[in-house]
Structure 1
Amino acid sequence: MKLLLTGGTGFIGRELLKHLTTHSVTLLTRDIASAKRTLNHTDLGNIDYIESLDIYNDLNEFDAVINLAGEPIADKRWSAEQKKRICDSRWKVTEKIVELIHASTKPPSTFISGSAVGYYGDQQDHPFDESLKVHQDNFAHTVCDRWEEIAMRAQSDQTRVCILRTGVVLGDGGGALAKMMLPYKLGVGGPIGDGSQYMPWIHLLDMVRGIVFLLETDHAVGPYNLCAPHAVSNATFSKTLASTLGRPHFLMTPKWALKLAMGESSCLLFDSVRAKPKKLTEMGFNFSFPHIDTALKNIVSNAR
């Protein structure tokens, strides 16, 4: 297939490209030279690089589009400026892709676009799947809701749209786990708040396998929870990570301290999201790492 990919130099995108070596990939990037350095060992001659979608009048030449672009949502406090950057980096590129799909006489048959489990907000300890409809006014939901709405405009008899409601992606060499591990390595790890909040996680390998599965499954359409079938509480995750690293697990980070440090974005740590990947599993997708203990053992082993 001939694919258009955005966000290919990010944590998920870099791993995804390793699974797309039999396809021809056009990668949208802000800095071609930097992208080529980042993907030096991944590019087998199947990747072309572009700096703007403005070079296209349509997307007739592409069989599918995978849209993973977006400013990291948890890296900085949510100032007004940062919120705008988060929104613009997701909404504007998605709007442009949809515009080009609509302008195509033979549009891509598949459009896979990012989102996050932040769409659901705090659901306490109640398990749920993709059928849950949410109407909230918090920032994380607003970002995801509009991002999804824009992407779904591309849905037609010629183009199917899949939405990736992504959980916390765990893997070696970056992502959330790299930040989480530091306190444990220093011997000061522990749960966040009382640790009762559920954490929807997914191993990086299952994340990219899930994307490829949706790419290759012609009847896949709509939102999909990209998270492992067994969500765990933050306390369980914390204890398992400490055990895997062979480090202590006794300190608790108080909620007030994180709210003080992170402001509004601390909701990403305290919202309880017990999302189930019902649609994926019912379609026959098998997770390589359905349980947190084996997932963390694999990641820590690879890191060593």
Structure 2
Amino acid sequence: MKVLVTGATGLIGKEIVKNLHDRGIVVHYLSTSPEKVKTKTNTKGFYWNPETGEVDETCLNGVEVIIHLAGASIAHRWTSKYKEEIVESRVLSSNLLFQLLKTHPNQVRQLISASAIGIYPSSLERIYQEDFTSIEHTFLSNVVVKWEESVEQFTRLGIKVCKLRIGLVLSKKGGAFPQLLKPIRWGMGSVLGSGKQWQSWIHIKDLARMFVFALEHELDGVYNAVAPQPVTHRDLLFSIARILQKPLFVPNTPKWVLKLILGEMHVLLFDSQKVQATKIREKGFYFKYTQLEEALRNLLKKD
């Protein structure tokens, strides 16, 4: 079996590729960097450029499933120009894949796309399942709506589309988690705002396993990619501090301070989404890391 992966060299992509290789699956991947286009055992790279519409059509040879992760990081200051890049990197890449499949013979039967829980409105009280539809028009929610619409078009080609709405990914190798660790390690950890905002998290290994589960079970539709037990921001920080045996003496950081430093992007730290993963569990997926303490100890065991 062959799987085409976009965003394969990113944090989540690397872990997914490792899982695919462990199952004997051959991986084709698309890269916008010619120097990253390489051929190794069970892996072959192909060049593409969604901005110019360039793509090596031979990337589809023998491919049955596409795992689509490509998209600019949201963890950069949101200038007007960069906000456009966040949206376009997702929509243009999806559109290019769609045109490629539409105009070239292929045997692709499923597309599994990354998405985000940022589609849900910030709330301290609500509990979100996949059937929630009262979307508020914030920048983040609009990004996710356009993102999901761009992959939904593949259903017109008779392809199953599965969208995994990802929460806070816990990994020491990248993403937001290492940024949470730094100040705590230095003894300068601080709860942001009230600390009551919900953090729906997932261990990187469970997330990668979920993508492969969606492939093996040919899932379609929307699934929340979060662990079963969300926690408050305060509980997350105090759990990290406890495991690292570091104090959290610094007073809470007011919201206005982060807004001054980060601009509009500060919402990433203060938005609250309590999200449930009941749907994917009902399909038979099991989490290796259901409790935050267990996940943190696995990630921090060598610290």
* Structure 2: unaligned runs, 5 residues or longer: 49-53
Equivalent of 2:42 in 31, 41, 46 = 46
The equivalent of 2:115 in structure 1 is 115
Match of 2:244 in 1: 245
Counterpart position of 2:207: 207
Alpha-carbon distance between aligned partners in 2 of 1:278 and 1:102, rounded to the nearest angstrom: 34
Gaps of 5+ in 1: 37-42
Aligned to 1:235: 234
Amino acid at match of 2:74: I
Q: CA deviation at 1:156?
A: 4.9
**Aligned ranges for residues 38-187 of structure 1 at < 5 Å?**
45-52=41-48, 54-56=55-57, 59=60, 61-74=62-75, 76-156=76-156, 158-187=158-187
For 2:200 and 2:208, the matched residues in 1 are separated by 16
Shift of 1:188: 1.1
**172-181 vs 197-206, greater mean Cα deviation:** 172-181
Match of 2:279 in 1: 279
Q: Quick check: 1:57–1:100 contact (8 Å CA) kept in 2?
A: no
Report the alpha carbon displacement of residue 106 of structure 1 after superposing the two structures with TM: 4.3
- What are the equivalent positions in structure 2 for 1:259-270 lying under 5 Å apart? 259-270=259-270
The match for 2:51 is none
Shift of residue 68, structure 1, vs aligned partner: 0.5
**Could you tell me the TM-score, scaled by structure 1's length?**
0.92
Quote the offset at 1:32 in angstroms: 4.0
1:125, 1:272 within 8 Å by CA — same for their partners in 2? Answer: no
1:57 is displaced (CA, Å) by 8.2
8 Å CA contact 1:5, 1:67 repeated in 2: yes
Measure, in 2, the Cα distance between the counterparts of 1:158 and 1:94. Answer: 16
**Counterpart of 1:71 in structure 2: which amino acid?**
A
Partners of 2:249 and 2:132 in 1: CA distance: 36
- Regions of 4+ moved over 6 Å: none
Distance 1:79 1:90 in 2: 17
**Per-residue deviation at 1:230?**
0.5
> Does structure 1 retain, via aligned residues, the 8 Å contact 2:46–2:59?
no
Length, aligned pairs only: 295
> 1:111 corresponds to which letter in structure 2?
L
Deviation for aligned residue 1:107: 3.9
Do the aligned partners of 2:198 and 2:231 also contact (CA within 8 Å) in 1?
A: yes
Report the Cα distance in structure 2 between the residues aligned to 1:173 and 1:83, rounded to whole angstroms. 25
TM-score (normalizing by structure 2): 0.92
Identity of aligned residues (%): 34
Distance 1:25 1:58 in 2: 10
The answer as to whether partners of 2:124 and 2:273 remain within 8 angstroms in 1 is yes
1:299/1:20 Cα in 2 relative to 1: closer, same or farther (>3 Å)? same
Q: What CA distance in whole angstroms lies between the structure 2 residues aligned with 1:136 and 1:102?
A: 33
Tell me if the contact between 1:101 and 1:107 (Cα under 8 Å) persists in the aligned partners: no
Q: What RMSD, in angstroms, separates the aligned Cα atoms of the two structures? A: 1.8
Aligned mates of 1:235, 1:212 — CA distance in 2: 32
How much does 1:134 deviate?
A: 3.2
2-structure distance, mates of 1:32, 1:275:
39
